[in-house]
Structure 1
Amino acid sequence: MATQARWIVDDEESAVHDEPHIADSRITVRAVHEWVENGDLDPETVAGRHNLDIAAVYHALAYYHEHPERMREVERDRERTIEANRGRAVTGPDDLE
Structure 2
Amino acid sequence: MSIVRDEGVLGGEPRIDGTRVGVRHVAARVVESGQSPAYVADQLDVSLAAVYEALSYYYEHIEEVRDFQQANESAFDRVRESSLEPRETIQ
Normalising by structure 1, we get a TM-score of 0.75
Change (3 A) 1:87 1:36: same
Q: 1:83 aligns with which of 74, 77, 87?
A: 77
3-state SS of 1:70 partner: helix
How far apart, CA to CA, are the structure 2 residues paired with 1:89 and 1:7?
38
Rg larger in structure: 2
What is the match of residue 21 of structure 2? 27
Between Structure 1 and Structure 2, how many residues are aligned? 86
Q: Percent identity?
A: 36
Which 10-residue stretch deviates more, 65-74 or 29-38? Answer: 65-74
The structural deviation recorded for 1:25 is 0.9
TM-score, normalised with respect to structure 2: 0.79
The answer for the alignment partner of 1:3 in structure 2 is none
CA distance in 2, matches of 1:25, 1:83: 26
Which residue identity lines up with residue 30 of structure 1 in the other structure?
R
Report the Cα distance in structure 1 between the residues aligned to 2:22 and 2:52, rounded to whole angstroms.
Answer: 12
User: Aligned runs of 1:8-87 on 2, under 5 Å?
Assistant: 8-11=3-6, 13=7, 15-18=8-11, 19-87=13-81
Greater Cα offset, 79-88 or 16-25: 79-88
